[in-house]
């Protein structure tokens, strides 16, 4: 239990720092981009608990991977588009 908290607390702290930096304009990303960061999208995983099985198992189990895929894909697209 301690090891899990040892890893997740800094991770969520990093999500908050990234979100605040985006909103305050400290990054090259527009302010609306905060919606695509793990700060917001990780909480959408709670909505998947209402989806019936077997889709819930796939969505909820792989959601943490999809969160980062969404964020990094959006970052690549935002930096490539003028």
> What residue segments make up the domains of the chain, in order of their start?
2-80
pTM for this structure?
Answer: 0.73
Query: Residue 71 and residue 63: Cα distance in Å, rounded?
Result: 12
Output the tens digit of pLDDT for each of the chain's 82 residues.
667 677 788 888 988 999 999 999 999 888 999 998 888 887 777 777 777 888 777 777 777 788 888 889 988 988 887 6
Cβ contacts of 38 within 8 Å, gap of 6 or more: 15, 18, 67, 68, 71
């Amino acid at each position: 239990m301690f090891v899990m908290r040892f890893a997740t607390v800094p991770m969520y702290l990093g999500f908050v720092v990234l979100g605040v930096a985006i909103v305050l304009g400290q990054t090259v990303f527009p302010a609306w981009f905060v919606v695509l960061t793990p700060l917001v999208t990780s909480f959408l995983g709670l909505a998947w608990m209402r989806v019936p099985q077997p889709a819930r198992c796939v969505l909820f189990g792989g959601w943490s991977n999809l969160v980062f895929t969404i964020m990094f894909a959006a970052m690549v697209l935002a930096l490539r588009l003028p």
